[in-house]
Structure formats: structure tokens, C-alpha cells
Amino acid sequence: MFQKVGFIGLGTMGMPMAKNILKKDGKLLVSDLVAEKKEEMRALGAEIARDNVQVAQECDLIFLSLLMPHIVEHVVAGENGLLANIRPGQCIIDTSTNPYAMSVKLSQLAAEKGAVYLDAPISGGAGRATNGTLSVIVGATREEADSGCFSPYLDALGSQVHYAGSRGGGVGLKILNNMLSKAILFADGEAILLAEHMGISFETLYDVISTSSSQNEILRIKKEHIQHHDYLPSNKSYFPVTGTLKDLNLARQLGEDVGVANFGCNQVIQWYRMAQQRGYGELDSSSIVELLRELEPVQKKD
């Protein structure tokens, strides 16, 4: 068990994860740029760090939940970042979704300091983060997590913890999952458009798909968005087109990093890029259906 645990990044996913770590450990040192987030954690009994340097200096285990890769790189490897202040034996568990090559590089830099940087991206949304039932994809073996005493903390975050076996494998698998879900969602959109041109409603198509070989989880998750033409952030399954493009570009970069062609991903990127250019950027990713409808509208019969 670690003597002191820290958590950096109290955003949509970070806040509920930090709360679950606090429940497990009874104490936690947290850091964030937003005062209200820190005060919310203080009210629950967490200690508030003056900055990330204090987290690096005092904590044996440090969790990260940060929005963008360049922020992660700055916090971990930037001037006076975590690695500049880390000690041998310390461990950083990064739940953010970063480029594969960057995760491998950060793990190597940490190893040079005698420390551990572990990619452990999460999937499941804010609701499952609150319930502690996320899917956690870890760039390590189960044996390493057990021997390093990380396992109980990972179990506090997720009901499903998957071990990729090697550094970068966690983010690699998360990127592939995101790529598949967005490609499947685009294929769903094409099927919806074709059905509408035949005079078949979305509801009828959904009933067939959900009981047939083409059933897919992403369509189930996005059903309400599509059914009600509601692509705004108020919907609980909202994830914007801008975020979708980030995920797809990470998948494209992964193909380049490992030297594998990725034609399907590149095609779907162009469709979502078109959606962004046509004003869909902050709408839910399922608004790709509306873009297809806009480009090839159903002609009303007299």
C-alpha cells in the first residue's frame, strides 16, 4: 500500500475517479486549476496541493486525468514537471488518452529516473466513473500491477480492468476501441440514410439491427440522440465531433507509429472533418447522421 496518493486533474472524469480513490484510501492530495473543483474535494476530506510539484514531492502514487496530450506532456515532462521532481520507486498512473508513441516515451523517461509511468486509459463515461465501474485498460501485466500494489487502486476505478501487457498497450487498445466505435457509428449513419430513402423509419431499422447480426453498442448508446434529433451536450451520452476527430487522428497516428495502413480510419476522418467544417463541431458525434441527411436528403413524394 502506498503511503500517500495524489490526483491531478479534476475534470468530468477526473473528479468522480478522485472521489473513488479518496473513498478507498481515506486521504488524497489533489491538484487542479479550477478553485471550485478543489473546494469540492476539500469538503470531502481531501488535501489541496499548492501545485503539481508538491504532488510529485509528497506522493508515492500519482493519478492523472487530463484532457489533451500536450497538457499531459507538459505536466509530466515539462520544465519543473513531475519527472523533474520524481524519486525512484514512485508511480504515475495516467488515465488520459494519449498518442501511443508519447506514452511509450514517457514511460522510458520515468524508467530512467527509477520510477514508473503507466498508461491506464479509461472508458465508460462519467456515470460509470461515479459508480466506479469503468473499463480500465492498463499498459502492464497483471503480475506487475499486483507486485507493484497498483491493482487495488485500479479496481477502485473500474469493474473491468484489462491488462495489455506492455507500456503503450493501454492507450493503443483504447485508441483502437475509439476508432472502431466511430467507424461503426458512421456505417450506422449510412444504413439509416439508405433506410430513410426506402421509406423505412429509424425506429424500424433500429429494431432489426438490435436483434440481428449487425447489432452494435454504439448505436444503442446513441439511439436517443438520433431518434430525437438531439445532438446537444444535455444528453448524457454526448461526445462532440471535435473529440471524435481527436480520437480518430490518434488512431491515424498509431497506424503511422507501427507502420500499418489504415484506409478505413482515414476515410472516416474525412467525413468527421467535413462535419466540423459545416458547423457540427460541438454537436454529438452521432450528428454525422444529420450531415448525411443534409448531403442526400430524402425527396418528398407528391
| CATH number of the 172-295 domain | 1.10.1040.10
CA quadruple 181, 183, 187, 190: dihedral positive or negative? Answer: positive
Residue 201's identity, in one-letter code, is S
CB atoms within 10 A of CB 196: 18
Give the Cα separation of 218 and 187 in Å (integer): 11
Q: Are 250 and 175 in contact (CB under 8 A)?
A: yes
Spell out where 18-168 has E strands: 29-31, 47-48, 61-64, 91-94, 116-119, 122-123, 134-138, 158-163
Query: Among all chains, which residue has been given the C-alpha cell 473513498?
Result: 23
- What string of pLDDT tens digits covers the 302 residues of the chain? 578 999 999 998 999 999 999 999 899 999 999 999 999 999 999 999 999 999 999 999 999 999 899 999 999 999 999 999 999 999 999 999 999 999 999 999 999 999 999 999 999 888 899 999 999 999 999 999 888 888 999 999 999 999 999 999 999 999 999 999 999 999 999 999 999 999 999 999 999 999 999 999 999 999 999 999 999 988 778 899 999 999 999 999 999 999 999 999 999 999 999 999 999 999 999 999 999 999 999 987 65
**Cα–chain-centroid distance for residue 86?**
26
CATH 1.10.1040.10 domain residues, the chain? 172-295
Give the Cα separation of 5 and 9 in Å (integer): 14
CATH 3.40.50.720 domain residues, the chain? 5-166
**Cα–chain-centroid distance for residue 118?**
15
Give the Cα separation of 255 and 60 in Å (integer): 35
| CATH number of the 5-166 domain | 3.40.50.720
